[in-house]
Structures are given as structure tokens and as C-alpha cells.
């Protein structure tokens, strides 16, 4: 029976470094760790963030104040040019955008921005619509239904 030969491209494998096996190995004597010092000893080395006695960076930087970034509302962003895929006279809401694979994240509220142009007469019923997008939609003959904050909170963010 013929032997199965595996062809491996040159340079994809590297020989393991065998240390502490005498001077003839090329890695003997000090086992590639140098002559003296903290890092050549067993258990030597410093913890992560140690800067040789200098005040470490994590202690030099101030930890003060409050950030509201954890509580900000994140939106799934779409542009007017994305709505050109939708047929004329349709009501554009979150369910339609999910069906047409325009948005992916179902849990986030949707915001429509005014990048691009629209030629179709559509009705937009989304969580937020920018003023430029609203102007372009109304200019094309469509309309925008603006949800109040209570309706958005009622449906969930």
C-alpha cells in the first residue's frame, strides 16, 4: 500500500525550542534567559502593570466623575438610500425592515437618517426620524408618523 504523504509548505512549521540541554544545543547554559536578574530566576518576573517602582499608569490616571454613557440609548441606524428597496406606497416600520433584511438587531430602536434621496411615496413609522430625512420624504409625497416618548417606552427599547 502506498504511504500517504502530507505536503506542508516550507515555513509553515517551526521547530520547538528545547532549552537547558547543554551548550551544543544552542540553547544551553542559561537556557536563553541571560546571566543574572529577576527574570532568569525560577518564579521571577513582575506582575502586569508593574513599572519598576514608578507609579503605575493605572494609579496615575484619575478615577473621578460620572459618565452617562452606560445609560444612553443606542439606535439601529438606516439611511434614506436603504429605503429604495421598498415598494411604492408601503408603510415602513420595524417589522418590514427586518423582513427585507435592512436591519439586523431586533431589540434596538430604529433611527432614519437623511443620507441619500428617495423617489417613492412611502409612510415611515419608526422610533426616530431626522429632520433632513423627514423633509425629503415629505417632498417625495410621503409622510412620517412620529412616535411619542410614551409609545416608545411602552413598546420597549
Q: What are phi and psi of 24, to 5 degrees?
A: -70, -20
Per the document, the length of the chain is 157
All structural domains of the chain, each given as residue ranges with its CATH number in brackets, are 73-155 (3.100.10.10)
Contact criterion met (CB below 8 Å) for 127 and 113: no
Q: 6-15, 52-61, 109-118: which range is least confident on average? A: 6-15
Model pLDDT for residues 103-114, shown as the tens digit of each residue? 998 899 999 999
Q: What is the 3-state secondary structure (H, E, C) of 95-124?
A: HHHHHCCCCCCCCCCEEEECCCCCCCCCEE
Q: Which residues pair with 123 in a beta bridge?
A: 91, 143
State if pTM tops 0.75: no
> Is residue 55 scored above 90 in pLDDT?
yes
Amino acid at each position: 500500500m502506498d504511504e500517504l504523504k502530507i505536503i506542508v509548505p516550507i515555513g509553515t512549521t517551526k521547530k520547538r525550542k528545547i532549552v537547558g540541554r547543554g551548550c551544543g544545543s544552542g540553547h544551553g547554559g542559561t537556557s536563553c534567559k541571560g546571566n543574572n536578574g529577576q527574570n532568569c530566576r525560577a518564579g521571577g518576573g513582575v506582575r502586569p502593570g508593574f513599572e519598576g517602582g514608578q507609579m503605575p499608569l493605572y494609579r496615575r490616571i484619575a478615577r473621578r466623575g460620572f459618565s452617562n454613557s452606560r445609560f444612553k440609548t443606542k439606535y439601529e441606524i438606516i439611511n434614506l438610500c436603504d429605503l429604495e428597496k421598498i415598494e411604492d406606497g408601503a408603510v415602513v416600520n420595524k417589522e418590514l425592515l427586518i423582513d427585507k433584511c435592512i436591519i439586523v438587531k431586533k431589540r434596538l430602536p430604529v433611527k432614519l437618517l437623511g443620507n441619500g434621496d428617495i423617489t417613492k411615496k412611502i409612510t415611515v413609522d419608526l422610533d426616530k426620524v431626522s429632520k433632513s430625512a423627514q423633509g425629503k420624504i415629505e417632498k417625495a409625497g410621503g409622510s412620517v408618523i412620529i412616535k411619542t416618548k410614551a409609545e416608545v417606552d411602552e413598546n420597549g427599547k
